[in-house]
Structure 1
Amino acid sequence: MEYLDFELPIKELEEQLTKCQVIGEESEVDVTDTCKKIEKKLINTKKDIYKNLTAWQRVQLSRHPSRPYTFDYIRAICGDTFFELHGDRNVKDDKAMIGGLGKIGDQSYMFIGTQKGYNTKTRQYRNFGMANPEGYRKALRLMKMAEKFDIPVVTFIDTPGAYPGIEAEERGQGEAIARNILEMTRLKVPVIVFIIGEGASGGALGIGVGDKVMMLENTWYSVISPESCSSILWRTWEYKETAAEVLKLTAPDMKKLHLVDDIIKEPLGGAHSDREATFESVTKAIVDSYNELKDLPVLELVDKRMEKYFNMGVYKE
């Protein structure tokens, strides 16, 4: 298991506990009391650390290499019922954007999300979760298919941003994202959005407009990453922690600003520390949200979605 820098006290205690248990198994010495004391200290240390996380520490947790990605959620939620669909019917199939049909119980859903890789090879294959224009056009094609057959849409966001390459700009990256934002505001089926890791810039917004937008507890959602913000304002990455604080990018900040609807609590230690519990929480949130939205007339559904976004921010006419 990999540990982040602020998790090192936990690592030390877990190593002590392991050694204590090994001594008990390999010798006749009774170490039960000692192990219990270490376990108690470990639990208290975890609570102290994870209940007082800074914005930058939450950013680090959102990028944890063991954290579940979009495919992990879809497989856990749908099992064998998921059927992946490919291609934008124009350029190619973008591996950073995945989508397809799946079921929860008897209800079908169109699942769409950005996918990162698990190692060097798959990270390159998935382009580090950064979608090209064809990825957003594939997502839109699947959303329109879902609308045609009256199937609710569920999206998972975990991206450092849309791919910023020259080729992507030449193929209309900005237009593709803008088109998705427009079309998602008036989609005639329920749209449920989850930020499961990083939610950066237009790359996130391209599949981020929904009736219900929810963030997992240790995720972030912002127009720019802390590192990029720091490099623009201070010409160095050294102030990334300060940038993370002032950007107000954590789930509690987003909820307070009325930019997301709900926060999904993660197990102590993050989503990767108890994947099954996390998957169960997300599944429940999908079902509850759909049950809340399914009986709304189409016009009311779209009007409420648009009204929600019209009311965001502070402005003067």
Structure 2
Amino acid sequence: MKAYLDFEKPVADLEGKIAELQALGDEQGSVGIDDEISRLREKADQALRDIYAKLNPWQKTQVARHPRRPHTRDYIQRLIEEFTPLAGDRSFGEDAAIMGGLGRFRGRPVVVMGHEKGHDTQTRLEHNFGMARPEGYRKAVRLMEMADNFAMPVVTFIDTAGAYPGIGAEERGQAEAIARGTDACLKLGVPNVATVVGEGGSGGAVAIATASRVLMLEHSIYTVASPEASASILWRDSARAADAATAMKITAQDLQGFGVIDRIVKEPVGGAHRDTETAIDAVGDAIAEALAEFDGRAPEEVRRMRREKFLAIGRGL
């Protein structure tokens, strides 16, 4: 059963009528019903295109959080061959909110990692809804150092509401772990490509997204704090999340204009959750093109290009 967002109600109504007519057609086998189904399907497709052509920032936030949107595990399963997961930070323990390991991306050995939210209640609890603790970021640093040692590019997938804010995480140095993750990204002598595939929340995203090239799916968001948290801070009213989403300029289109990200990856009509394979393949093509830009470049040049990219953000606005 499809999960519809509030603003998709016109599409939900049309697709509901289609389902009813299909059930009736199976019973009666009427040609007239088939014609009506075709007409309604065209109408539903057009309604979906019209809605997604003019999404506002809050609606994009809802799409970015859609429960059926593909997650890191889905990208790894489709894009990475011979994936070998690696676990633990060699200091405290394993954190399932960030999964990572070694594999081959279109024949090229890579280190891959990303936030994993889970797809049902059990796996969401197991992965802590994609909110990493310090050991998750220290594991990421360990993997990045391994990538540098063996001259393997780093591919990351970003999808988190933010780093886990629990007491235990703070006691184990959450802020320091995020800072070291960001520092490790900047020091890499190999190219790293980060793709925001859902939510890019706060330092929890930046810790593994400070990359040579930063990509975003068309309906994903990238923000210093969630719209709800920002509304609570600015207006002491989390119900004004839609206002905060608009004011903060968190969409891929806004961020490309500011130079924060390098490329927007188009999604299938209706969002990545409606055609996950097409969406994942589009991300794979974009990653391959980004990595190709750095072929044959020396480590110092890769570092210099990354540094200049981030120093240039906001200049000339």
Measure, in 2, the Cα distance between the counterparts of 1:65 and 1:100.
24
Give 1:209 deviation, angstroms. 0.7
Deviates more, 1:127-136 or 1:98-107: 98-107
Partner of 2:187: 186
In structure 1, the residue matched to 2:57 is 55
Greater than 3 Å deviation, 4+ residue runs: none
* Structure 1 residue 233: Cα displacement: 1.5
**Structure 2 counterpart of 1:138:** 139
What letter matches 1:77 in structure 2?
L
- Tell me the distance in 1 between the aligned counterparts of 2:29 and 2:186: 68
Note the C-alpha offset of 1:314: 5.4
1:124 Cα deviation (Å)?
1.5
SS of the counterpart of 2:209? coil
Task: Using structure 1 for the length normalisation, give the TM-score.
Answer: 0.96
What CA distance in whole angstroms lies between the structure 1 residues aligned with 2:29 and 2:176? Answer: 70
- Deviations 1:30-83 (CA, angstroms, capped at 9, x unpaired): 22332222122111101111111010010001111111110110011124x110
The equivalent of 2:286 in structure 1 is: 285
SS, match of residue 9 in structure 2: helix
Letter in 1 for 2:256: K
Query: What amino acid does structure 2 have at the position aligned with 1:145?
Result: M
**Residue 155 of structure 1: aligned partner:** 156
What is the 5 A alignment of 1:1-317?
A: 1-30=2-31, 31-79=33-81, 81-313=82-314
CA–CA separation in structure 1 for the residues paired with 2:107 and 2:130: 31
* Higher mean C-alpha displacement, 118-127 vs 107-116: 118-127
Deviation at 1:29, TM superposition (A): 3.0
Contact in 1 for aligned 2:201/2:225 (Cα 8 Å): yes
Unaligned runs of 5+ in 1: none
Query: What amino acid is the match of 1:11?
Result: A
Amino acid at match of 2:20: K
Q: Distance in 2 between matches of 1:98 and 1:28?
A: 50
Instruction: State the 1:105 CA deviation.
Output: 3.1
Report if aligned partners of 2:102, 2:110 keep a CA contact under 8 Å in 1.
Answer: yes
Moved more, 183-192 or 31-40: 31-40
Counterpart secondary structure, 2:195: strand
The residue type paired with residue 46 of structure 1 is L
Q: Percent identity?
A: 45
Q: Tell me, in whole angstroms, the C-alpha distance in 1 between the residues paired with 2:297 and 2:266.
A: 27
| Structure 2 counterpart SS, 1:196 | strand
Distance 2:18 2:188 in 1: 53
AA at the equivalent of 1:62: A
- Deviation at residue 25 of structure 1 after TM alignment: 2.8
CA distance in 1, matches of 2:201, 2:5: 21
Q: TM-score, normalised on structure 2?
A: 0.96
How many correspondences in the alignment? 314
